[in-house]
Chains A and B, each alone.
Chain A
Amino acid sequence: MSWLLSFPILIPFAAAVIAFLLKDGPGGRWASVIGSAAMLIASMALMTNVLSEGVVAGQMGGWPAPFGITLVADYLSAVMVVITAITALAVSIYAMADVNARIASLGYHALFQVLIAGVAGAFLTGDLFNLYVWFEVMLIASFGLLVMGGSKEQIDGGVKYVALNLVSTILFLTGIGLLYGMTGTLNMADLARTVPLIENQALVTVIAVMFMVAFGVKAAVFPLFFWLPAAYHTPAFSTSAIFAGLLTKVGVYALMRMFTLIFVGDIAFTHEILLWVACFTMVTGVLGAAAQNDFRKILSFHIVSQIGYMILGLALMTPLAILGAVFYLVHHIIVKANLFLVAGVAARIAGSTELKRIGGLYAHAPLLAFLFLIPAFSLAGFPPLSGFWAKFLLVKAALEDGHGFVAFIALAVGAFTIFSMTKIWAEAFWTPHPDNVEPKLNRLEKRMFWPLILPIAGLAVLTCFIGLFPEPFVQFAEGATAQLLDPTAYIDAVLGGAE
């Protein structure tokens, strides 16, 4: 049982070791791809197990909870691990062509796998301090990936990324210490039981806000998001894509976990803050995007704006809203990673990511244009793509809960999203190239074509699939929501099943 839970973490670590040993040859990138594929299989096996048994928990090292470290997978954790593996597979294939030999020999593929292991660990752990350790694993790997190559932009963006993330880490650590001082446990299921028994609930709320700020920095919510648009447009495209897909979402996941499982004592206060944070995040992100003129910078600001939608679902805390947030989380990872991958191909054949300096992609690379349209429309929320259902669920939840104003903001932000997607479309795809270059796809080297296009096409197919057949996904998200709002099964699986 516990092996099934630890495989999605162990496989990327093993792949990282192999990739590091083979970093000077083609073996490194193959190790990364094979590791991601193996992780996908392992996470699917875990998912099957979770689907048949509800919540799966395992105690590491044989120490019973709450003393040992628990790994636990409910519906939400399981789906996040699967989606992590899918994104990792897509991006590691893309990285085969995108990452040049110099960067690869610095150990790019090894760090990439360490990052994936950190993300998977953060999704699967049931222990607060262990979550901190996974955050650190993720953080140090992301630092390396971000500045690898060492261009001026990367160093500049890296400084801001590192500085703000370290501050958030320390806040997180302090929060853990104080919470432990009050409850004497670090096991998340045990905390869910003991935190409501604390006499001084005001102090719990203070700690809750501390966690909110710490995870808020990771998730890049207003007003803590400034590191993200400063850094995400600087590294290699595959790095941007995996960061955009996964890293902020770990913050969102941690917020969802903590504020449905542990900090539910003063919902009127904490979730009201989250609601306003969500609105401001949506609006500032989309306005920031409207002011940008670079492919990746626009996409970076859109991450911020989209995070707002997920936080909105959490803030409303009704079954439908959480359902929407879970659905949004899954949809967003696929779509956002894909858009960054498209940006990479566009920059490769047209010469830049600055929209003023590229053009003509629609006339000369219609396939790429088509592959851009799917995630772009999905992001903006066009039916029948996945983003439509995600937004539809959230807006409906906001209206049902009597938050008409919030629903209006969510819809307006959607409209602005279309505006900046149109900007990319018009400047990069429609207008002719300013230097009269013909950005055809066959400008790519032959050996690069499939590794670059295949992951984009695969993720686009997945987006369409979720959009056309949302029923099973919504049902699954319903299950995840039920588990989040009534954590009895989670707590029993962790504490009851411990021998």
Chain B
Amino acid sequence: MDRRALFFLGAAAVSAALYPATDTQHRWVCLALAVVYTVLAVGSALDAWSRQRRHPARPGPRARKGQEAGSGSS
């Protein structure tokens, strides 16, 4: 999973976990932050997924060497 999405998911979890400890007057802040970070996590995950689909990961230099060596021997 995308690292940024994971980071936002963690932030959403922390915001939600603080909800019971917050005074009633300010609980909406925790709730709003949990929702915003969840939306950002979903958005980031979708963004990473669409980027990956448009530009599939190229094989690394080691894999390319292996491929070249393989094609050379055949």
Q: Do A and B bind each other?
A: no
A residues touching B (Cβ–Cβ < 8 Å)? none
